Structure 1
Amino acid sequence: MGAGCAANARDLGKLDRWARESSPVHALDPRAKLLAVLAFALAVVSLDKYALGEQLPFFAFPIFLWARSGVPAGLVAKRVLAVAPFAAMVGLFNPLFDTATLLTVGGVAISGGWISFVSILLRGLLTISALVLLVATTDIPKLSMAAERLGVPRIFVAQMQGLYRYLFLLADEAGRIYLAFRLRSPNAKPPSWRVYAAILGQLLLRSLERAGRVHQAMLLRGFNGEMRSVAKLEFDKRDWRFLILWLCAIAALRFLHPAPWIGDVLLKALS
């Protein structure tokens, strides 16, 4: 558990460091990126549950963000795959309940449940990859400021910033507790559920104590519920161009369904 928390904290730290790099995507206004990602996610999740082919062209958006940002593909893939099991759990029982045959490939009947299950996985990959690339190209203070400028209540913005920063402390604390356990029992077997429960209880107590100290320190420094930042947001022509072009592209992919047309063009080109 502790080793896993430390590894996750390192990955979050890598994303946080990449958010301070420089690239055409990093230079975009956070509001433009946030609106584009939200529109992308809404378009993807609103597709029909059997729409597999229609989802494939949507990969153009995360591929564009990745190609123009320089974020390592391995880092993005690792974060996406870490969340993929949760997407799989959402549609885990679809093949059991939706047994009607919708497709036959090579004499093998494929039910609607399997198609909808794969569709859920694709939606998860699309939305999670876009969100990971958003975080990897926009640091949290700027992203929080963009959310507040777009109308998100200030209390939610403050909670988001505090939660993100505290995740690093929480993972570090869990790593220290686990390391202390291993040092005291170097030859012990992997911890049992009872030991994990004790570790979690100790982690909770330490977290509550540290949270109280952090809150008192923030109050002494004049914290009044607003997360202040020296960063400034400027929406220029480049940001408008990015936002308008991608909003139009996402709307076209969602409502014009170009996948069959693209397939026909590719088949003609290959034939």
Structure 2
Amino acid sequence: MAKIESSFLDLGYLDGLAYRDSPIHRLDPRIKLITTLLFIVCVASFGKHELAALLPFAVYPVALLVLAKLPPGYILHKILLAAPFALGIGAFNPLFDRATLLHIGSVEISGGWISFASLMLRVVLTVSAALILVACTGFDSLCLALARLGVPGVFVVQLLLLYRYLFVLTDEAMRLSRARSQRSFGRRGWELPVIASLLVQLLLRTLEGAQRIYLAMQCRGFDGELRLLRPLRIGMTDVAFLIGCTTALLGLRFADQAPALGHAIGGLLSW
């Protein structure tokens, strides 16, 4: 039960971070979404053996983390949760790609290890950028930004309702877990038939709760269009942020200085 409650509070904490006040929080959600997508595309577009050129891109999430005044420990914890999936994907790279691509003194490093490190760095950069985007914008504002940018409304509404459904699911799971713990002792109550029954009850209760929420939304006149009390306006600060980030990201991606800067940072780290 403690794990379920901590997961529920964790979802609420991520939403709560979006209500803080900082220069990044005050930017238009569409601008932040576009720059984050551009960052992810630039990071993902490098070759599998390009590691040093990716290092300068770490400046972007670090700068946003500092300017938005977000807790770095929380973001790091979320990145570590996504790391096992990347480890499972890239763990076999050193086995299949054994050609030596780099020498550090007398140590030979194969292309598999370089591609594995490159994959892990991409995951850290992209996941951190996505988490910072949600933490300094809010999921509701992000969905509204998607709708304003031309994403089909059906997809946006489904995405928003799926996110909100997680809270309903977690709340019902907390109630079932609390009821089970009050009716059992020690490790009793975790038998397979009991767990199967709890999962069935969880599904039925969440479906019933979702139906009640849908009827309540209809009673309040929901017509499928997303609205926010705070209107979206793009000001000069938003334009300057977009131009600055776009210029910097495209410069790091296509300019010749990006690999050199990455090699210099890599040399400092190895030193």
Question: TM-score under structure 1 normalisation?
Answer: 0.90
Structure 1 residue aligned with 2:26: 27
2:53·2:261 contact (CA, 8 Å) conserved in 1? no
Gap regions ≥5 residues in structure 1: none
Partner residue, 1:104: 103
| Corresponding residue number in structure 1 for 2:238 | 239
CA distance in 1, matches of 2:250, 2:189: 51
| 3-state DSSP of counterpart to 2:103 | strand
Cα separation, partners in 2 of 1:57 and 1:202, compared to 1, 3 Å: same
In structure 2, what residue type is equivalent to 1:139? G
Q: CA deviation at 1:190?
A: 8.7
Name the structure 2 match of 1:94.
93
Would you say the 8 A contact 1:100–1:111 is kept in 2?
yes
2:140 aligns with 141
CA distance in 1, matches of 2:92, 2:263: 31
Distance in 2 (CA, whole Å) between partners of 1:45 and 1:265 is 20
Matched, 1:182 2:181: yes
- Structure 1 position 49, deviation (Å): 0.6
Residue aligning to 2:7: 8
> How do 1:62-77 and structure 2 match up within 5 A?
62-77=61-76
Spell out the pairing of 1:143-162 with structure 2 (5 A cutoff): 143-162=142-161
Which residue does the alignment assign to 2:209?
Answer: 210
Contact in 2 for aligned 1:19/1:139 (Cα 8 Å): yes
Q: Which moved more, 1:209-218 or 1:2-11?
A: 2-11
Are the aligned partners of 1:142 and 1:231 in contact in 2 as well (CA < 8 Å)?
Answer: no
C-alpha distance in 1 between matches for 2:52 and 2:192: 44
Structure 2 residue ranges without an equivalent (≥5): none
Q: Distance in 2 between matches of 1:198 and 1:58?
A: 48
**Count of aligned pairs:** 268
* Structure 1 residue 266, shift from structure 2 partner: 9.4
Cα distance change of structure 1 residues 105 and 182 upon mapping to structure 2, 3 Å threshold: farther
CA distance in 2, matches of 1:113, 1:190: 47
CA contact (8 A) 1:80 1:128 kept: yes
Q: 1:195/1:50 Cα in 2 relative to 1: closer, same or farther (>3 Å)?
A: farther
CA RMSD in angstroms comes to 2.3
Give 1:194 shift. Answer: 5.6
CA–CA separation in structure 2 for the residues paired with 1:58 and 1:190: 50
Note if contact 1:76-1:132 (Cα within 8 Å) is conserved in structure 2.
yes
Q: State the match for 1:50 in structure 2.
A: 49
Q: Name the CA distance, whole Å, in 1 between partners of 2:259 and 2:35.
A: 21
Deviations 1:70-110 (Å, cap 9, x if unpaired)?
A: 01111111112112212222223222222222223343332
- Structure 1 letter corresponding to 2:26: A
Q: How does 1:104-143 map to 2 (within 5 A)?
A: 104-143=103-142
Q: State the alpha-carbon separation in 2 of the partners of residues 22 and 194 from structure 1.
A: 49
Quote how far apart the aligned CAs of 1:26 are: 0.4
Shift of 1:9: 2.2
